[in-house]
Protein backbone atom coordinates (compact mmCIF):
# COMPACT_ATOMS: atom_id res chain seq x y z
CA UNK A 1 0.00 0.00 0.00
CA UNK A 2 2.13 2.87 -1.24
CA UNK A 3 -0.72 5.30 -1.66
CA UNK A 4 -3.71 5.77 0.59
CA UNK A 5 -7.22 4.98 -0.49
CA UNK A 6 -9.21 7.03 -2.97
CA UNK A 7 -10.79 8.93 -0.16
CA UNK A 8 -8.01 10.17 2.10
CA UNK A 9 -8.79 11.36 5.62
CA UNK A 10 -6.28 14.18 5.41
CA UNK A 11 -4.80 15.74 2.34
CA UNK A 12 -2.40 18.66 2.13
CA UNK A 13 -2.03 20.33 -1.26
CA UNK A 14 1.08 22.39 -2.04
CA UNK A 15 1.25 23.58 1.55
CA UNK A 16 3.95 26.19 2.11
CA UNK A 17 4.81 28.35 5.09
CA UNK A 18 7.35 31.10 5.27
CA UNK A 19 8.64 32.87 8.38
CA UNK A 20 10.12 36.09 7.08
CA UNK A 21 12.67 34.91 4.53
CA UNK A 22 12.76 31.32 5.73
CA UNK A 23 10.62 28.75 3.94
CA UNK A 24 10.04 26.16 6.64
CA UNK A 25 7.76 23.89 4.63
CA UNK A 26 7.58 24.07 0.86
CA UNK A 27 4.89 22.69 -1.45
CA UNK A 28 4.03 19.74 0.73
CA UNK A 29 1.63 17.16 -0.69
CA UNK A 30 0.73 14.59 1.90
CA UNK A 31 -2.14 12.15 2.11
CA UNK A 32 -3.21 10.15 5.11
CA UNK A 33 -5.60 7.30 4.57
CA UNK A 34 -8.31 6.09 6.89
CA UNK A 35 -7.03 3.91 9.69
CA UNK A 36 -3.49 4.30 8.41
CA UNK A 37 -0.35 4.63 10.50
CA UNK A 38 2.04 6.91 8.73
CA UNK A 39 5.40 8.21 9.84
CA UNK A 40 6.94 11.57 9.12
CA UNK A 41 10.70 11.60 9.48
CA UNK A 42 13.58 13.84 8.56
CA UNK A 43 16.77 15.30 9.97
CA UNK A 44 16.70 17.96 12.68
CA UNK A 45 15.05 21.17 11.54
CA UNK A 46 13.46 19.51 8.50
CA UNK A 47 10.08 21.04 9.37
CA UNK A 48 8.30 18.04 10.87
CA UNK A 49 6.82 19.84 13.85
CA UNK A 50 5.93 22.76 11.58
CA UNK A 51 3.83 20.33 9.51
CA UNK A 52 2.04 19.36 12.74
CA UNK A 53 1.46 22.97 13.58
CA UNK A 54 0.08 23.61 10.10
CA UNK A 55 -2.31 20.67 10.23
CA UNK A 56 -3.55 21.58 13.72
CA UNK A 57 -4.00 25.28 12.97
CA UNK A 58 -1.28 26.63 15.25
CA UNK A 59 0.27 28.16 12.12
CA UNK A 60 -1.61 29.20 9.00
CA UNK A 61 -0.05 28.15 5.68
CA UNK A 62 1.29 30.92 3.47
CA UNK A 63 0.10 28.96 0.44
CA UNK A 64 -1.78 25.75 -0.21
CA UNK A 65 -4.81 24.04 1.24
CA UNK A 66 -5.41 21.36 3.84
CA UNK A 67 -8.43 19.10 3.45
CA UNK A 68 -9.77 16.96 6.25
CA UNK A 69 -12.37 14.40 5.28
CA UNK A 70 -12.86 16.26 2.00
CA UNK A 71 -13.44 19.67 3.59
CA UNK A 72 -10.96 22.50 3.79
CA UNK A 73 -9.62 23.28 7.23
CA UNK A 74 -7.14 25.84 5.91
CA UNK A 75 -7.20 28.94 8.09
CA UNK A 76 -9.37 27.35 10.76
CA UNK A 77 -8.52 28.06 14.39
CA UNK A 78 -6.82 25.28 16.33
CA UNK A 79 -9.79 24.52 18.56
CA UNK A 80 -12.12 24.18 15.57
CA UNK A 81 -9.77 21.74 13.91
CA UNK A 82 -9.71 19.66 17.08
CA UNK A 83 -13.50 19.70 17.06
CA UNK A 84 -13.44 18.38 13.49
CA UNK A 85 -11.45 15.38 14.68
CA UNK A 86 -7.72 16.01 14.76
CA UNK A 87 -5.94 15.75 18.11
CA UNK A 88 -2.27 15.91 18.90
CA UNK A 89 0.44 15.55 21.45
CA UNK A 90 3.41 17.85 21.84
CA UNK A 91 7.12 17.26 21.49
CA UNK A 92 7.80 19.13 24.73
CA UNK A 93 4.98 17.75 26.88
CA UNK A 94 2.25 20.31 27.42
CA UNK A 95 -0.04 18.98 30.11
CA UNK A 96 -2.19 21.21 32.30
CA UNK A 97 0.28 21.13 35.11
CA UNK A 98 -1.91 22.35 37.97
CA UNK A 99 -4.77 19.98 37.13
CA UNK A 100 -4.97 16.36 38.19
CA UNK A 101 -4.50 13.47 35.81
CA UNK A 102 -8.27 13.00 35.84
CA UNK A 103 -8.97 16.66 35.08
CA UNK A 104 -6.41 16.76 32.29
CA UNK A 105 -8.41 14.11 30.47
CA UNK A 106 -11.71 15.66 31.52
CA UNK A 107 -10.93 19.00 29.85
CA UNK A 108 -10.81 17.26 26.48
CA UNK A 109 -14.40 16.05 27.00
CA UNK A 110 -15.41 19.66 26.93
CA UNK A 111 -15.85 19.21 23.15
CA UNK A 112 -18.64 16.71 23.60
CA UNK A 113 -20.56 18.57 26.29
CA UNK A 114 -24.26 18.97 25.68
CA UNK A 115 -24.70 21.59 28.36
CA UNK A 116 -22.95 24.94 28.64
CA UNK A 117 -22.35 27.65 31.24
CA UNK A 118 -25.98 27.66 32.28
CA UNK A 119 -25.82 23.97 33.18
CA UNK A 120 -22.70 24.53 35.22
CA UNK A 121 -24.37 27.39 37.08
CA UNK A 122 -27.75 25.81 37.60
CA UNK A 123 -26.25 22.42 38.54
CA UNK A 124 -29.47 20.58 37.92
CA UNK A 125 -30.07 16.92 37.26
CA UNK A 126 -28.91 17.10 33.63
CA UNK A 127 -25.64 18.65 34.72
CA UNK A 128 -24.86 15.94 37.26
CA UNK A 129 -25.86 13.19 34.87
CA UNK A 130 -23.52 14.51 32.23
CA UNK A 131 -20.65 15.03 34.68
CA UNK A 132 -21.10 11.49 35.91
CA UNK A 133 -21.10 10.09 32.39
CA UNK A 134 -17.92 12.02 31.60
CA UNK A 135 -16.26 10.79 34.80
CA UNK A 136 -17.06 7.20 33.83
CA UNK A 137 -15.56 7.64 30.38
CA UNK A 138 -12.47 9.38 31.72
CA UNK A 139 -11.87 6.54 34.14
CA UNK A 140 -12.38 3.97 31.38
CA UNK A 141 -9.75 5.69 29.27
CA UNK A 142 -7.36 5.97 32.19
CA UNK A 143 -7.82 2.29 32.94
CA UNK A 144 -6.99 1.28 29.40
CA UNK A 145 -3.66 3.04 29.76
CA UNK A 146 -3.09 1.94 33.36
CA UNK A 147 -3.14 5.47 34.65
CA UNK A 148 -6.27 5.22 36.82
CA UNK A 149 -4.24 4.87 40.00
CA UNK A 150 -2.82 8.34 39.44
CA UNK A 151 -6.14 9.97 38.72
CA UNK A 152 -6.03 12.29 41.74
CA UNK A 153 -2.35 13.15 41.38
CA UNK A 154 -1.23 16.42 39.78
CA UNK A 155 -0.20 15.79 36.18
CA UNK A 156 3.26 17.17 36.74
CA UNK A 157 3.98 14.61 39.47
CA UNK A 158 3.93 11.72 36.98
CA UNK A 159 7.05 10.14 35.57
CA UNK A 160 8.20 11.28 32.16
CA UNK A 161 6.91 8.21 30.35
CA UNK A 162 3.55 8.42 32.14
CA UNK A 163 3.24 12.08 31.21
CA UNK A 164 3.75 11.15 27.57
CA UNK A 165 1.07 8.48 27.85
CA UNK A 166 -1.26 10.88 29.64
CA UNK A 167 -0.87 13.31 26.75
CA UNK A 168 -1.94 10.55 24.37
CA UNK A 169 -4.93 9.73 26.59
CA UNK A 170 -5.92 13.38 26.72
CA UNK A 171 -5.72 13.62 22.93
CA UNK A 172 -7.83 10.46 22.56
CA UNK A 173 -10.47 11.91 24.90
CA UNK A 174 -11.15 14.52 22.23
CA UNK A 175 -12.33 11.53 20.11
CA UNK A 176 -10.17 12.27 17.10
CA UNK A 177 -10.25 10.48 13.77
CA UNK A 178 -6.65 11.50 13.21
CA UNK A 179 -4.11 11.46 16.01
CA UNK A 180 -0.84 13.33 15.61
CA UNK A 181 1.99 12.17 17.83
CA UNK A 182 5.03 14.44 18.02
CA UNK A 183 8.11 12.44 18.99
CA UNK A 184 6.39 10.23 21.56
CA UNK A 185 9.52 8.12 22.05
CA UNK A 186 11.76 11.05 22.94
CA UNK A 187 13.62 10.36 26.15
CA UNK A 188 12.46 6.75 26.47
CA UNK A 189 14.66 3.69 26.97
CA UNK A 190 14.39 0.76 24.60
CA UNK A 191 11.94 -1.28 26.67
CA UNK A 192 9.71 1.77 27.02
CA UNK A 193 9.98 2.23 23.27
CA UNK A 194 8.81 -1.32 22.65
CA UNK A 195 5.83 -0.67 24.93
CA UNK A 196 5.09 2.53 23.09
CA UNK A 197 5.11 0.80 19.71
CA UNK A 198 2.65 -1.74 21.00
CA UNK A 199 0.54 1.03 22.48
CA UNK A 200 0.35 3.00 19.23
CA UNK A 201 -0.70 -0.05 17.26
CA UNK A 202 -3.23 -0.89 19.94
CA UNK A 203 -4.70 2.62 19.81
CA UNK A 204 -5.00 2.48 16.06
CA UNK A 205 -6.89 -0.80 16.23
CA UNK A 206 -9.01 -0.06 19.27
CA UNK A 207 -10.18 3.41 18.30
CA UNK A 208 -10.11 2.84 14.53
CA UNK A 209 -8.22 6.02 13.84
CA UNK A 210 -5.38 7.21 11.64
CA UNK A 211 -2.09 8.11 13.27
CA UNK A 212 0.57 10.48 11.98
CA UNK A 213 3.79 9.91 13.82
CA UNK A 214 6.72 12.30 13.87
CA UNK A 215 9.65 10.45 15.28
CA UNK A 216 13.39 10.60 15.40
CA UNK A 217 13.83 7.04 16.49
CA UNK A 218 14.20 4.83 13.39
CA UNK A 219 13.58 1.65 15.35
CA UNK A 220 10.10 2.92 16.26
CA UNK A 221 9.21 4.42 12.90
CA UNK A 222 10.44 1.53 10.79
CA UNK A 223 8.90 -0.94 13.20
CA UNK A 224 5.30 0.17 13.10
CA UNK A 225 4.60 2.57 10.25
CA UNK A 226 2.83 1.35 7.16
CA UNK A 227 4.08 4.22 5.11
CA UNK A 228 6.74 6.87 5.71
CA UNK A 229 7.22 10.35 4.31
CA UNK A 230 10.63 11.98 4.56
CA UNK A 231 11.15 15.71 4.88
CA UNK A 232 14.40 17.57 4.34
CA UNK A 233 14.64 21.35 4.51
CA UNK A 234 10.84 21.58 4.36
CA UNK A 235 10.58 19.52 1.16
CA UNK A 236 9.24 16.00 0.89
CA UNK A 237 12.11 14.03 -0.62
CA UNK A 238 10.71 10.53 -0.40
CA UNK A 239 7.63 8.54 0.46
CA UNK A 240 6.85 4.85 0.57
CA UNK A 241 7.01 1.65 2.56
CA UNK A 242 9.65 1.50 5.31
CA UNK A 243 11.96 -0.78 3.32
CA UNK A 244 11.67 1.45 0.24
CA UNK A 245 12.44 4.56 2.21
CA UNK A 246 15.37 2.93 3.93
CA UNK A 247 17.03 2.22 0.58
CA UNK A 248 16.20 5.55 -1.03
CA UNK A 249 19.52 7.29 -1.90
CA UNK A 250 18.08 10.77 -1.26
CA UNK A 251 17.07 9.74 2.25
CA UNK A 252 20.45 8.22 2.94
CA UNK A 253 22.15 11.36 1.75
CA UNK A 254 19.95 13.61 3.88
CA UNK A 255 20.69 11.58 6.98
CA UNK A 256 24.37 11.04 6.21
CA UNK A 257 24.73 14.76 5.62
CA UNK A 258 23.34 15.31 9.04
CA UNK A 259 25.71 12.83 10.65
CA UNK A 260 28.65 14.41 8.95
CA UNK A 261 27.78 17.79 10.44
CA UNK A 262 27.30 16.13 13.79
CA UNK A 263 30.77 14.61 13.62
CA UNK A 264 32.38 17.86 12.61
Span from 68-76, 98-106, 183-191, 208-216 in contact with other proteins (CB under 8 A): 98-106
Say whether residue 74 binds other proteins (CB under 8 A).
Answer: no
Sequence-separated (6 or more) residues with CB below 8 Å from residue 174: 82, 87, 108, 111
Say whether residue 103 binds other proteins (CB under 8 A).
Answer: yes
Site for other proteins in 75-94 (CB under 8 A): 77-79, 82-83, 87-88, 90, 94
Say whether residue 214 binds other proteins (CB under 8 A).
Answer: no
Residues in contact with other proteins, shown as a per-residue x/- string from 32 to 51 under the rule CB under 8 A: -----------------x--
Binding-site size for other proteins (CB under 8 A) equals 53
User: Residue 128 or residue 243: which is nearer to other proteins going by CB?
Assistant: 128
Say whether residue 160 binds other proteins (CB under 8 A).
Answer: no
Residues in contact with other proteins, shown as a per-residue x/- string from 183 to 212 under the rule CB under 8 A: ------------------------------
Start-to-end CA span in the chain (Å): 39
Say whether residue 99 binds other proteins (CB under 8 A).
Answer: yes
Say whether residue 54 binds other proteins (CB under 8 A).
Answer: no
Q: How far is the CB of 261 from other proteins (least distance, A)?
A: 19
The footprint of other proteins (CB under 8 A) covers 19, 49, 53, 56-58, 77-79, 82-83, 87-88, 90, 94-100, 102-103, 106-111, 113, 115-117, 119-121, 123, 127-128, 130-132, 134-135, 138-139, 151-154, 170-171, 174
Amino acid sequence: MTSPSENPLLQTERVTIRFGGLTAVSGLDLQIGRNELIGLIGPNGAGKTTVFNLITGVYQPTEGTILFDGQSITGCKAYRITARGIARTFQNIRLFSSLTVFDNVRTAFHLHLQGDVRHALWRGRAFWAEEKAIATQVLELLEIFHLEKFRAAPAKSLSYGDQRRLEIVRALAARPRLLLLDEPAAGMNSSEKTDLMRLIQFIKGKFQISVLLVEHDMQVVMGICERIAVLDYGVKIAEGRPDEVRRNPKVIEAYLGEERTHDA
